[in-house]
Structure 1
């Protein structure tokens, strides 16, 4: 196992984490921005008004993208387990 194979595995793992986080967090950030703009326009400073839509969108994205995220992680883990002899030898 050389440094290049370790670097490839690590960079692929980091890329998977970035994709997974972006899929879940970016819609929540957009909804938060829309709600914050609405609050600024109407001068409503209620904290639960900004929390609940972001929570609902985050849960919706986890439900909708969950199968893709789990499939991606399982494929990555299977790839590592299948390539253990190549990585060690």
Structure 2
């Protein structure tokens, strides 16, 4: 195993992490921004007002994107296992 192969594996792992987490984090940040604007406009500063909508949004996105996340992870695991068989 040479350093270029290790760097390729790390690059693929980072891309998988970004593909999985960016949609969830992006939507969560947008919901948080909308709620922060609402709180600033109404001067309601309740902590649960930000937590519950973000939690519901992320849970809903996980339900919708579950098959996409599993397919991305399956492709990466297949890639890793194919590299492991080539090592012997």
TM (norm. structure 1) is: 0.91
1:11-51 superposed Cα distances (whole Å, 9 cap, x missing partner): 11011112211121110110000000000001001111111
Question: Post-superposition shift, 1:64?
Answer: 0.8
What is the root-mean-square deviation of aligned Cα atoms in Å? 1.2
The residue that corresponds to 1:60 in the other structure is 60
- Off by >3 Å, runs of 4+ in structure 1: none
Deviation at 1:80, TM superposition (A): 1.5
What is the CA-CA distance between 1:66 and the residue it aligns to? 1.1
Offset at residue 85 of structure 1 (A): 3.5
User: Which ranges in structure 1 are unaligned for 5 or more consecutive residues?
Assistant: none
Contiguous gaps of at least 5 residues in structure 2: none
Alignment TM-score, normalising by the size of structure 2 = 0.92
Say how many residue pairs are matched: 88
Alignment of 1:26-37 (within 5 A): 26-37=26-37
